[in-house]
Structure 1
Amino acid sequence: MITDVNNWQQMAEQCLIKGNYAQAANLYEQAIEQEPHVTSYYWHLGLLLLLQGQEAEAQMTWMLPMAEADTEHLSKLTNVLFQLLQIEAERREKLAEYSLAWLIRQHMKEINPDEMNNLLQILLLSLKREKFEEIEEMSQWGLIESLKLKENLDIDAKLLMQVLQKILNTVPLHPINLDLVEACLPYFPDADQSFRILLPAAMKIGHTLQQPKLAASLLNLHLQLEPNNVEILRHLATFYQDARNYCQGIETAKLCYSLSESLADKIFALHLLLRGLMSAGGYWAEICTACKELETIEQQFIESQPIILEEGRTLRLLTPSFAIPHIKDSPVDFRGIHNKVAQIFNNNIKEIAQSESKSFKFQNINKSTLNISTKKLRIGYVSYALRNHSVGWLARWLFQHHDQDKFDIHTYFINYKLVNDFLQEWYVNHAGICHLLGMNGLEIAEKIYHDEIDILVDLDSITLDITSEVMALKPAPIQVTWLGWDASGIPAIDYFIADPYVLPDNAQDYYTEKIWRLPQTYIAVDGFEVGVPTLCRDDLNIPIDAVVYLSAQRGYKRHPETTRWQMQIIKQVPNSYFLIKGLSQEEAIKRFFYQIAEEEGVDCSQLRFLPQVHQESVHRANLGIADVVLDTFPYNGATTTLETLWMGIPLVTRVGEQFAARNSYTMMINAGITEGIAWTDQEYVEWGVRLGKDEALRQQVVLKLKASRQTAPLWNGKQFTREMEKAYEQMWQMYIEGK
């Protein structure tokens, strides 16, 4: 029996806090015996039984005082009980005892199933416990419908935003998310809050999880609050284009440009427009107009310096240059502008880093004691593309053959993608010490610096702004660009890997990086996986004795002048057909080819447009349907050229002056093939006609290519790796000698 009337409840409270639930329950049971009319005792006792796992007993205890209560009194009783449970649930939440808090709130839901804030708390607790079943039950709860109706809704808007953000971060691809976001729009305190929640979620969905269509839908909801938010429109244009919704991607990019005021913003808006037009293919007049405008704005930007730019605008400066080499082969003019923009980029990034105390200083090397033969060089590779991507397919042999006894290999995955990608998984297992990183350039550079990397190799060039930022920060004493694209022009990069062919002899005159020419080839592979073909001539209604030409490139590389040469070849070779494959907007690219075919007097029935295949191995197998592959110009194939040569198919390429116009040339030379290398426009047509008409010549090339697999530098990944390693050692030796 309770004897201390004044302190027994305090004792019970202390027992509750200490987890002595049975002892506390005993006190309340004694209290009920002495004062059975005090309803609060039943509430506390029921709670203590619940905490001991006796849910049925807890509910029965709570029901006892309610059995004889009238409707008005019953409502008051349940409100008091609800408040008591809420206090305990909140206490458990602060203690991070989420399972207990969740259990208590489930019983609160049974007492008052329409209390929206409790439902939101249950969702939040489920996410914290990584139990996602309640998200499926949102529709049954009527939560979204209630949010949309807004009738007599007493809701904690801050809690709602917290739940929405947690759901988008935890289960970003859940099918209910769009409905939930739409229902939440009226509850955002301002458009800025929506921006801070929806844009990061969309970027994760669109880029990291590779669901651009869903990401675009999410950003479209924000536009209901801010129709002219340029930052949202930039990302929306990208997601539309990535989802192959080219028309909306182009129109959104045009809107971005019309709303852009600063020169830096206009540069990036033009990049988005060119990205859309070139991906779609077939918009040549608009591409040329946008390209001229881009060059004009870039020149104005250079002349207007100094312009203070924050990090976001600075990061967007380099990528727009990617379009221009697809349009014309003028490396002296191109690099004259691009290198100046890269210098501005580099300077701005350094200033931003210094403002955040992120500048890196390397330790002085004691040259008298350091010997290259005893130093195990630490090589770092940084890229977003070590996955199902051209860089991923081509770089793996270097990692496969690296001498682990002489080199410590570190690989830095930028924006590591949370997707099922066997090639990405291969790199994680074979690329030395792997660092799976996000999109913060300053943090990535700091990681590389603290890992004491000796030579940092950039595999992306300007194709990703974050990689460019990392390289501009100079986290390693020696920095190199290889493979991903042409040289970036960033002053913080020391060397650009090339070979005797892929750049002309005078290229150093207009490169800021020191060109390091490997003795034979700047790229080599041991081969490719080849699957079972899904194409045959019968399916395409092509006669067995026809001559089949093929071009397999993205819409980006479709230049009308090159297409005109290709049509001239088809016209001159009897019984010939031209297969066209590559990502693009179907109607636009057909219009593009049909118009040029008609202008050149080619029957459009000789053209075939091939569907995409999802497996790279099947794509390679399907190349075998071609007798001759016709390369693009002024931007050659790279991966597609290697695949063509590996499959033993004759190739016609036009050699230019820029890196992108000489890829196929160096690959053919390093495969032991000169047949099909054209130095003029006319030679391109002549080689195409000759290889089409002369079956014996084609067979000769096929045999050479098959034999080259055993002897050619292009197919010797191990030898290439030794040459790269030798280059690294020489770079390091020059560095420690102060050269």
Structure 2
Amino acid sequence: ERDMERIAREIHADEVDILFDLAGHTAGTGLAALAWKPAPVQLSGLGYMATTGLKTVDYFVTDHCCDPTGSGSEAFYVEKLLRLTSQFCYNGYTHLPRSTGTPARGRGYIQFASFNQYQKFRDPVLRAWQEIMERVPQSRLLLKNNAYSKPGVVQSAYERLRRLGFDMSRVQFECATQDYMLRYLDVDIALDTFPWPGGGTTCDALYMGVPVVSYYTERHSTRFTYSLLANIGLSDLASTSLSDYVETAVALAGNLDLLDALHRELRDRMKTSPVMDQERYIREMEECYRAVWNAWESENTSR
């Protein structure tokens, strides 16, 4: 608490006009410093999926897909909402090879995958994946993340999936490696987690040509992947019910022509979308900064 107070005093001494928190309630956050209100205008967003809960934070940065105008999503926030076209601004990696088509063509089976954090693999998620694999004969599932560098975690995950009815001869666990992005070239379809979807992980998959199937509800925290898919013209891959999530994955696995086309065109879709339009993103953020500062000046000069 003392460190946060010191940080807040330093920010105040620097005469910061607009303070933007990018971490929310995540590990190592400095969010507590904002409770001291060291800057006249304070924002949060982008790095966390929900409200800060702090009345000293004035605005939350989101987008029109995660929090549509008129949806009533304001009820979930103590902050006022600032909506961008896309709250994501993805850079991509120019040196990485493109997908030349869905690997299933040459391999003879569908490889599903999730590279999301292990903590997001809740039982309802795993049950949905088990049903998908059961309905797509010979399909396999690749699970890759940092947690699987620990043998004990792998053993625990193995037993958990076995109890849930998975054919474990079709499941592979991998720890995160330097060739993380290249590994997507072996994946046909990425399965998103819920209610906490991917963000950067989804961007990586799409950039590498892998379509992502997602499930979302009315809450901001469930809609990250939906926002990304909507911004590249593939909102049909995001479902509003669990049964449709399963059906979408199964149908996509059965349509190799569509899968092939998506693998070849997804990088271009990303590059020409708001998700990778850096100039547009900067312009919209600058407009937000001007708007919130003008609002603060107007309110305080009228007193």
Q: Same fold (TM over 0.5)?
A: yes
- 1:529 offset after TM fit, Å? 5.9
Where does the alignment leave 5 or more consecutive residues of structure 2 unmatched?
99-105, 148-152
Pairing 1:87-126 to 2, within 5 Å after superposition: none
CA distance in 1, matches of 2:220, 2:184: 25
| Contact 1:673 1:701 (C-alpha < 8 Å) held by counterparts | no
Pairing 1:319-468 to 2, within 5 Å after superposition: 440-464=3-27, 467-468=30-31
Please say if 1:515 is aligned against 2:87.
no
Residues 527 and 621 of structure 1: CA distance in aligned 2, closer, same or farther (over 3 Å)? same
Aligned-partner SS, 2:52: coil
Please say if 1:571 is aligned against 2:134.
yes
CA distance in 2, matches of 1:521, 1:480: 17
CA distance in 2, matches of 1:554, 1:521: 23
- 1:530 offset after TM fit, Å? 5.7
Please say if 1:620 is aligned against 2:181.
yes
| Contact 1:579 1:610 (C-alpha < 8 Å) held by counterparts | yes
Aligned letter for 1:522?
Answer: Q
Where does the alignment leave 5 or more consecutive residues of structure 1 unmatched?
1-310, 313-439, 534-542
| Contact 2:17 2:40 (C-alpha < 8 Å) held by counterparts | yes
Pairing 1:492-531 to 2, within 5 Å after superposition: 492-504=56-68, 505-518=71-84, 520-528=85-93
CA distance in 2, matches of 1:712, 1:499: 14
Match of 2:53 in 1: 489
- 1:703 offset after TM fit, Å? 3.9
Instruction: Write out per-residue CA displacement over residues 80-138 of structure 1, whole angstroms, 9 at most, x where no aligned residue.
Output: xxxxxxxxxxxxxxxxxxxxxxxxxxxxxxxxxxxxxxxxxxxxxxxxxxxxxxxxxxx
Aligned-partner SS, 1:645: helix
TM-score (normalizing by structure 1): 0.37
Residue among 639, 649, 654 paired with 2:210: 649
Match of 1:550 in 2: 113
Q: Whose strand proportion is higher, 1 or 2? A: 2
CA distance in 2, matches of 1:558, 1:573: 20
Aligned-partner SS, 2:20: strand
Pairing 1:599-678 to 2, within 5 Å after superposition: 602-613=166-177, 615=178, 618-678=179-239
Aligned-partner SS, 2:81: strand
Aligned-partner SS, 2:235: coil
- 1:546 offset after TM fit, Å? 1.4
Instruction: Write out per-residue CA displacement over residues 236-279 of structure 1, whole angstroms, 9 at most, x where no aligned residue.
Output: xxxxxxxxxxxxxxxxxxxxxxxxxxxxxxxxxxxxxxxxxxxx
Give the greater-gyration-radius structure (CA): 1
- 1:575 offset after TM fit, Å? 2.2
TM-score (normalizing by structure 2): 0.88
| Contact 2:206 2:270 (C-alpha < 8 Å) held by counterparts | no
Match of 2:150 in 1: none
- 1:658 offset after TM fit, Å? 2.4
CA distance in 2, matches of 1:620, 1:465: 26
Aligned-partner SS, 1:620: helix
- 1:577 offset after TM fit, Å? 0.7
| Contact 1:555 1:589 (C-alpha < 8 Å) held by counterparts | no
Cα RMSD, aligned residues only: 2.0
Aligned letter for 1:526?
Answer: N
Aligned-partner SS, 1:568: helix
- 1:612 offset after TM fit, Å? 2.4
Aligned-partner SS, 2:146: coil
Aligned length: 285
Match of 2:102 in 1: none
Aligned letter for 1:656?
Answer: T
Residues 578 and 465 of structure 1: CA distance in aligned 2, closer, same or farther (over 3 Å)? closer
Please say if 1:687 is aligned against 2:248.
yes
Please say if 1:698 is aligned against 2:259.
yes
| Contact 1:528 1:643 (C-alpha < 8 Å) held by counterparts | no
CA distance in 2, matches of 1:466, 1:574: 45
| Contact 2:51 2:76 (C-alpha < 8 Å) held by counterparts | no
The share of aligned pairs that are identical, in percent, is 28
| Contact 1:455 1:477 (C-alpha < 8 Å) held by counterparts | yes
- 1:592 offset after TM fit, Å? 1.4
- 1:464 offset after TM fit, Å? 4.3
| Contact 1:579 1:608 (C-alpha < 8 Å) held by counterparts | yes
Aligned letter for 1:488?
Answer: T
Aligned-partner SS, 2:262: helix
| Contact 1:457 1:480 (C-alpha < 8 Å) held by counterparts | yes
CA distance in 1, matches of 2:29, 2:242: 38
- 1:624 offset after TM fit, Å? 1.6
CA distance in 2, matches of 1:666, 1:611: 28
CA distance in 2, matches of 1:710, 1:557: 28
CA distance in 2, matches of 1:510, 1:553: 25
| Contact 2:89 2:277 (C-alpha < 8 Å) held by counterparts | yes
Aligned-partner SS, 2:285: helix
| Contact 1:672 1:704 (C-alpha < 8 Å) held by counterparts | no
Residues 728 and 550 of structure 1: CA distance in aligned 2, closer, same or farther (over 3 Å)? same
Match of 1:14 in 2: none
| Contact 1:479 1:493 (C-alpha < 8 Å) held by counterparts | yes
| Contact 1:620 1:647 (C-alpha < 8 Å) held by counterparts | yes
| Contact 1:630 1:653 (C-alpha < 8 Å) held by counterparts | yes
Aligned-partner SS, 1:594: helix
- 1:678 offset after TM fit, Å? 1.0
| Contact 1:673 1:704 (C-alpha < 8 Å) held by counterparts | no
- 1:564 offset after TM fit, Å? 0.8
Aligned letter for 1:473?
Answer: W
CA distance in 2, matches of 1:500, 1:612: 33
- 1:465 offset after TM fit, Å? 6.3
| Contact 2:203 2:228 (C-alpha < 8 Å) held by counterparts | yes
Aligned letter for 2:158?
Answer: K
| Contact 1:530 1:620 (C-alpha < 8 Å) held by counterparts | no
CA distance in 1, matches of 2:205, 2:271: 17
Aligned-partner SS, 2:214: strand
Match of 1:589 in 2: 157
Aligned letter for 2:66?
Answer: V
CA distance in 2, matches of 1:448, 1:640: 33
| Contact 1:549 1:577 (C-alpha < 8 Å) held by counterparts | yes
| Contact 1:673 1:705 (C-alpha < 8 Å) held by counterparts | no
